[in-house]
Amino acid sequence: MIKRIIDISSPAYLYLKHKQLLIDQKGETMAQVAIEDLGVLILQHPAIVVTQALIVCCQKNNVAMVFCDERHLPYSVLLPISDANSLHTKIIQQQIDCSCITKKRIWQQIVKHKISGQAEVLKYFGKNAISLDRLVKQVKSGDIENAEAQAAQKYWRLLFGNSFRRDTDLAGINSLLNYGYAIIRAMVARAIVASGLHPALGVQHHNQYNGLCLADDLMEPFRPWVDWLVYKLNEQEDISDVNQSNKQLMLNLLSDTVVFNQQKMPLMVACHYVLGDIKRAFEDKSVKIHYPKLLAMSQ
């Protein structure tokens, strides 16, 4: 079942009652949602109050709680660790024991998927993707020649023009890209925890201050989907900032229909199947990691 994504952008009091999330505003209950139906809860406003009982219940039901900063952009994600999967200790040990060679092989596949996705975005909008198609074939184990960065240098200019600069601190298109990536990151992190893997143990990203290194690795092939949507939105109307309308369209991406192994399903569901491939790849070097295809991009 597809889980719901709730985005709260105004002052509210959030609490738990009979395993339901209740949202009170100005002393009145405005909405209630069964916790088991929740997938992602996004808290944007600094005046939102959340009870401890609600937080615990959300964690027990593997709800990713996303906290936003003063710019209303996702800043941190709260996830359960030990109770999301019954084989957590065994799976974590397999993840820790994963060899450097295996991690490099996995990262090679991830980078190939990402660059292929970027090429598909360019082709969708009638832009030249020959250089990226060529780079996909050149990705080596561990991406030792950094084809990912080479692709990025070409990709952003080809997609948004020579004047565009990808900068996380800039407004407009960059801000909406940041928002979209953060939502995808939360979705992937949620699936990682549900699979029993630990989100801090990455295959390529390694940062002692980052608790979501594996999420940052596995989300890379999903980034072009955000780029595709942002480009479409910018074609309709120049993006000056992140607003309620374009944020909602970004959130809808998680429930959009994708094709995974010839089956249609929502993206959030397909993400769990991707994690199944990743877990098998940690143990079996012959496993090929599959990523879904966004149905809207193939039409």
- Predicted confidence at residue 102, as pLDDT, reads 93
The pLDDT-based confidence of 135 (bands split at 50, 70, 90) is very high
Task: Give me the mean pLDDT over the 151-178 stretch.
Answer: 94
293: closest CA among 226, 225, 232?
225
Same domain, 226 and 102: yes
Residue-range definition of the domain harbouring residue 185: 88-298
- Predicted confidence at residue 82, as pLDDT, reads 57
230: closest CA among 155, 166, 170, 177?
177
- Predicted confidence at residue 268, as pLDDT, reads 92
- Predicted confidence at residue 110, as pLDDT, reads 97
> For 240, phi and psi rounded to 5 degrees?
-95, -25
CB count, 10 Å around CB of 294? 24
Name the least confident of 13-17, 30-34, 151-155, 243-247: 243-247
Q: Is 83 domain-assigned?
A: no
Query: Does residue 2 have a pLDDT over 80?
Result: no
Same domain, 201 and 72: no
Strand order in 74-78's β-sheet? 4-8, 38-43, 64-68, 74-78
Task: Give me the mean pLDDT over the 54-78 stretch.
Answer: 89
Task: Give me the mean pLDDT over the 167-173 stretch.
Answer: 90
The pLDDT-based confidence of 285 (bands split at 50, 70, 90) is confident
User: What percent of the chain is predicted at pLDDT more than 90?
Assistant: 69
Q: What is the mean pLDDT of the chain?
A: 91
Task: Give me the mean pLDDT over the 85-99 stretch.
Answer: 75
Same domain, 188 and 156: yes
Name the least confident of 40-54, 214-228, 233-247: 233-247
Same domain, 61 and 130: no
Same domain, 152 and 61: no
Task: Give me the mean pLDDT over the 210-236 stretch.
Answer: 94
Same domain, 63 and 156: no
Domains: count for the chain: 2
Query: Does residue 67 have a pLDDT over 70?
Result: yes
The pLDDT-based confidence of 17 (bands split at 50, 70, 90) is very high
- Predicted confidence at residue 149, as pLDDT, reads 96
- Predicted confidence at residue 257, as pLDDT, reads 94
Same domain, 161 and 264: yes
Strand pairing report for 48-50 and 12-17:
parallel
The predicted model scores a pTM of 0.86
Query: Does residue 84 have a pLDDT over 70?
Result: no
- Predicted confidence at residue 208, as pLDDT, reads 65
Task: Show which of 28, 56, 78 is a domain's final residue.
Answer: 78
Query: Does residue 87 have a pLDDT over 60?
Result: no
pLDDT digits (tens, 9 = 90+) for 175-207: 999 999 999 999 999 999 888 888 889 999 877
Same domain, 123 and 59: no
232: closest CA among 252, 258, 260?
252
How distant, in Å, are the alpha carbons of 1, 32, 190 from that of 18? Answer: 21, 11, 24
- Predicted confidence at residue 143, as pLDDT, reads 95
Joined tokens for residue 14: 């959030």
- Predicted confidence at residue 240, as pLDDT, reads 79
Task: CATH number of the domain at 205, please.
Answer: 1.20.120.920
